[in-house]
Amino acid sequence: MLHKRIFTVSIGDYGTIVALHNGKNIQNKILIASISDENKPQLESLFNQNKAAPIYIILDTTNQNYKKKTYPPVSQSDFHKIVKRDLNKEFSPIEKSFQSYYGIKDKTQNKWECTFVSAAHSPEIDKWIEFLLTVPNPLIGIYVLPVETGAMAKEVFEAIKAEQNIKTNENTVLSFVMQNKISGVRQVVFANNSIVFTRVVNYNFDDPQFAHLFEQDIFRANEYLKMIFPKLKAQDVVIINLLSDDILDKIKHIDNRELSFINYSPYQIAEKLNITNAVSSNSGNFSDIIIANCFANSTKKVLKFSNSKITMLDRLKLVLKSIFVIDAIAISIVLMILVKIILQQYQSKGKISEMISERTSLAQRLQSISNAALDDNVKKIDKNDPANDDLANEIIDFGKVDEVLSTVNVNISGFLNRLAVVKKYDVTVLSFGYSLPGYNPKAEEFASIHPEFKISGEISDKSGDIEILFKKFDALNLETKNKFTEYNVNYSEISKNIDFGKKYYSFPFDLTLKNKGQ
């Protein structure tokens, strides 16, 4: 199976990891302490060999702020307007940082949950952005690791829940404690598919009291969660530790009924997620590559940051893409027109000869009837000849229609004069027609034939008030029935799908009049 190649550039306080992902396979990874002129050639070579692979920057830095806020159940567009206005209030405008937000609508509690996120700039981050804008690969955007860890959290949970017999409910909280090469030990907590909080913890693994201190620290974090979620119980918090084997050996004997630990090494998780070349059994102490790979393969990234240069490039790409699409559509239309013209020309060659033949035949038949009429010898036309019979019917049809209307006492002019009453209701008649159901030009009697009239139009009102249009419609309905008492008057049903908050300056209708004798 073919996969799209993707670069992730994970920037932390203790270095940067550049990784090339091809599905679940890590094709290349480079750890760099700090970007410089010495290591740029190596990076440029890697990017040039994979020019089509887009680049995603992931910030795993300490200086990040997360603030949660609840909003009432407004529409999605109104929610974004309110939050964008509040964004500048939540963070200092003079602070040089990436700032954004994301919201999730809680349908059970009928409210919006919004998380404001800021990540501070640093000289190292700025140098990386400047460099990545010079390589041929498209730079998609900047993301923060704690938020995007949600992709890994979902995959890990699905991979281990059966093995660990994890029972979940509406209050379940997932707490991940993991060690990253470029940032240290980080805890990220999720609830209802959204991040609750994150923190970087500086543990001294060589401290003889490490296990005890670790237990107390995680216990305090759980107590904080209970303050956020008053209904939370100890068994609702699923704590998953992704730490190296030597650290797991130190905490595996912790016995606390309030803490239920699930322990895996990054190497074990990589195996369960089928990620190859991410970590090795000997040096599989860190989760950076696993998180980056789950992010790279996720179909939906959560929160994208940008700057003026990236935004300008995005707009340029959008314009170029639009031009390409418009050109493709224009070329397709031109090709379709050319094909249609060629087909029409091809078909018209056969039709021209067919029309000439039909015209010659029709002229001969009309000439035969004309000669017979001039000689007062119409009876000489052979009525048993189907061709002559059809031709005669075609000629007399128009006269018969007028004859039938006269027979059933229908005066079209008078009918239209009576119909003029619709004008006072601001009605525009778009079409008028009548038919004679059961009409047969060969019939001798037409007493049983009753015409049927159909009128289509629209009622209009300059105010745009739908209630006024309804009143006009009702008045028109009543007026028509009073004017045409000899007919059954039927109007088309008014659509039930009407937004009373909108303006309607006109409304269509269809009117049918059938004689009550039908």
375-405: pLDDT as tens digits: 544 444 455 555 555 544 544 444 555 555 6
- Residues 294 and 362 grouped into a single domain: no
- 64: exposed, middle or buried (Cβ count in 10 Å: 0-12, 13-18, 19+): buried
Average pLDDT over residues 163-189: 93
Q: Indicate whether 356 and 225 sit together in one domain.
A: no
pLDDT score, position 248: 94
pTM of the model: 0.62
- Rounded Cα distance, 455 and 510, in Å: 6
For residues 492 and 426, membership in a common domain is answered with: yes
Strands, sheet with 506-515, edge to edge from the N-terminal-most edge strand: 427-435, 452-460, 506-515, 487-491
160 and 19 within one domain: yes
In angstroms, rounded to a whole number, what is the distance separating the alpha carbons of residues 243 and 249? 10
Burial of 131 from C-beta contacts in 10 A (0-12 / 13-18 / 19+)? middle
Structure-model confidence comparison of residues 369 and 211, the more confident one: 211
The residue ranges of DSSP E strands in 165-303, in sequence order, are 173-180, 184-191, 194-201, 237-242, 261-264
At position 396, the amino acid (one-letter code) is: I
Which range of residues forms the domain containing residue 425? Answer: 407-515
Percentage of the chain modeled with pLDDT above 90:
41
State how far the Cα of 161 lies from the Cα of 98, in Å rounded to an integer.
36
Q: What is the 8-class DSSP label of residue 385?
A: -
| Per-residue model confidence (pLDDT) at position 373 | 47
Who wins on pLDDT, 401 or 159? 159
pLDDT at 483 over 70: yes
- The arithmetic mean of pLDDT across residues 9-25, rounded, is 95
Can you tell me whether residue 47 is helix, strand or coil? helix
Inside any domain, residue 111 = no
- Answer yes or no: do 198 and 280 share one domain: yes
Which of 56-60, 92-96, 327-331, 405-409 holds the top average pLDDT?
A: 56-60
| Total residue count of the chain as it appears in this document | 518
**Where does 375-464 have alpha helices with state H?**
386-407, 412-419
C-alpha span between 356 and 352 (Å, rounded): 6
- Per-residue pLDDT at 54: 95
- Indicate the residue among 364, 380, 396 that finishes a domain: 380
Tens of pLDDT, residue by residue over 403-439, are 556 665 566 777 777 777 777 788 888 887 877 777 6
What does the radius of gyration of the chain's CA atoms come to, in whole angstroms?
A: 40
Give domain status of residue 294, yes or no. Answer: yes
Q: Which residues are CB-contacts of 4 (< 8 A; sequence separation ≥ 6)?
A: 22, 53
CA angle 136, 134, 7 (to 5 degrees): 55
User: What is d(CA 355, CA 362) in angstroms, rounded to the nearest whole number?
Assistant: 10
**Is residue 201 domain-shared with residue 327, that is, in the same domain?**
no
**18 vs 455, higher pLDDT:** 18
pLDDT at position 68 over 70: yes
Q: Among 54-58, 109-113, 121-125, 249-253, where is mean pLDDT lowest? A: 109-113
129 within 8 A of 35, measured Cβ to Cβ: no
Q: What is the CATH number of the domain that holds 468?
A: 3.30.70
Q: Say whether 380 sits in a helix, a strand or coil.
A: helix
Looking up tokens 């997932």 gives: 174
State how many domains the chain has: 3
Q: State the SS3 of 71-90.
A: ECCCCHHHHHHHHHHHHHHH
The DSSP call for residue 115 is: E
311 part of a folded domain: no
Other Cβ atoms less than 10 A from the Cβ of 245: the count is 14
**Cβ distance 262 to 284 under 8 Å?**
no
273 and 356 in a single domain? The answer is: no
Q: How far apart are CA 385 and CA 388, in angstroms?
A: 5
pLDDT surpassing 70 at residue 444 = no
Residues 286-321 have pLDDT tens digits of: 999 999 999 999 988 888 887 666 666 666 666 666
